[in-house]
Amino acid sequence: MSHSDLVLYTAKDLQRLFGMSRSSLYRMLNRENFPKPVVLGPADSRGASIRWRSDEVHAYIETLPREKIRED
Protein backbone atom coordinates (compact mmCIF):
# COMPACT_ATOMS: atom_id res chain seq x y z
CA MET A 1 0.00 0.00 0.00
CA SER A 2 1.39 3.39 -0.92
CA HIS A 3 1.15 6.42 1.32
CA SER A 4 -1.45 7.92 -1.02
CA ASP A 5 -3.72 4.89 -0.37
CA LEU A 6 -3.48 5.18 3.41
CA VAL A 7 -6.58 6.50 5.16
CA LEU A 8 -6.89 7.31 8.85
CA TYR A 9 -10.23 6.10 10.20
CA THR A 10 -12.16 7.81 12.97
CA ALA A 11 -14.24 5.85 15.46
CA LYS A 12 -17.33 6.82 13.43
CA ASP A 13 -15.68 5.43 10.29
CA LEU A 14 -15.06 2.14 12.11
CA GLN A 15 -18.67 2.05 13.31
CA ARG A 16 -19.85 2.32 9.69
CA LEU A 17 -17.25 -0.16 8.42
CA PHE A 18 -18.17 -2.83 10.97
CA GLY A 19 -21.87 -1.92 11.19
CA MET A 20 -21.96 -1.71 14.96
CA SER A 21 -22.88 0.65 17.76
CA ARG A 22 -20.35 2.80 19.57
CA SER A 23 -20.36 0.59 22.66
CA SER A 24 -19.89 -2.58 20.57
CA LEU A 25 -17.07 -0.90 18.68
CA TYR A 26 -15.22 0.02 21.87
CA ARG A 27 -15.57 -3.54 23.17
CA MET A 28 -13.99 -4.73 19.94
CA LEU A 29 -11.23 -2.10 20.16
CA ASN A 30 -10.25 -3.43 23.58
CA ARG A 31 -9.42 -6.84 22.12
CA GLU A 32 -5.73 -7.57 22.27
CA ASN A 33 -5.33 -8.19 18.53
CA PHE A 34 -7.17 -5.10 17.24
CA PRO A 35 -4.75 -2.48 15.82
CA LYS A 36 -3.75 0.27 18.22
CA PRO A 37 -4.73 3.82 17.27
CA VAL A 38 -2.44 6.57 16.09
CA VAL A 39 -2.45 9.63 18.36
CA LEU A 40 -2.60 12.91 16.46
CA GLY A 41 -1.41 15.90 18.45
CA PRO A 42 -1.34 16.51 22.17
CA ALA A 43 -4.30 15.84 24.40
CA ASP A 44 -6.48 18.82 25.17
CA SER A 45 -9.53 19.16 27.41
CA ARG A 46 -11.45 16.81 25.08
CA GLY A 47 -8.60 14.30 24.89
CA ALA A 48 -6.23 13.44 22.08
CA SER A 49 -7.40 12.98 18.53
CA ILE A 50 -7.01 9.32 17.62
CA ARG A 51 -7.30 7.49 14.32
CA TRP A 52 -6.75 3.96 13.03
CA ARG A 53 -4.64 3.17 9.97
CA SER A 54 -6.75 1.68 7.19
CA ASP A 55 -4.06 -0.83 6.22
CA GLU A 56 -3.91 -2.21 9.77
CA VAL A 57 -7.71 -2.32 10.09
CA HIS A 58 -8.07 -4.21 6.81
CA ALA A 59 -5.29 -6.62 7.80
CA TYR A 60 -7.24 -7.28 11.04
CA ILE A 61 -10.40 -7.95 9.02
CA GLU A 62 -8.50 -10.56 7.00
CA THR A 63 -7.75 -12.46 10.24
CA LEU A 64 -11.43 -12.79 11.15
CA PRO A 65 -12.95 -16.24 10.66
CA ARG A 66 -15.26 -16.68 7.70
CA GLU A 67 -18.68 -18.13 8.36
CA LYS A 68 -19.95 -20.72 5.93
CA ILE A 69 -23.42 -19.77 4.73
CA ARG A 70 -25.92 -22.60 4.77
CA GLU A 71 -27.93 -23.26 1.69
CA ASP A 72 -31.43 -24.46 2.50
Cα first-last separation, the chain: 40
pTM (2 decimals)? 0.76
At residue 2, what is the residue type? Answer: S
In a domain, 70, yes or no: no
Which domain, by its residues, includes 50?
A: 3-63
Q: What is the DSSP letter of 27?
A: H
Distance CA 24, CA 6 (A): 25
Residue 18 contacts residue 28 (beta carbons within 8 Å): yes
In a domain, 58, yes or no: yes
Residue 54 contacts residue 6 (beta carbons within 8 Å): yes
In a domain, 71, yes or no: no
Q: How confident is the model at residue 45 (pLDDT cuts 50, 70, 90)?
A: low
In a domain, 68, yes or no: no
In a domain, 69, yes or no: no
Distance CA 65, CA 72 (A): 22
11-29, pLDDT tens digit by residue?
A: 999 999 999 999 999 898 8
Structure confidence at residue 59 (pLDDT): 95
Total structural domains within the chain: 1
In a domain, 24, yes or no: yes
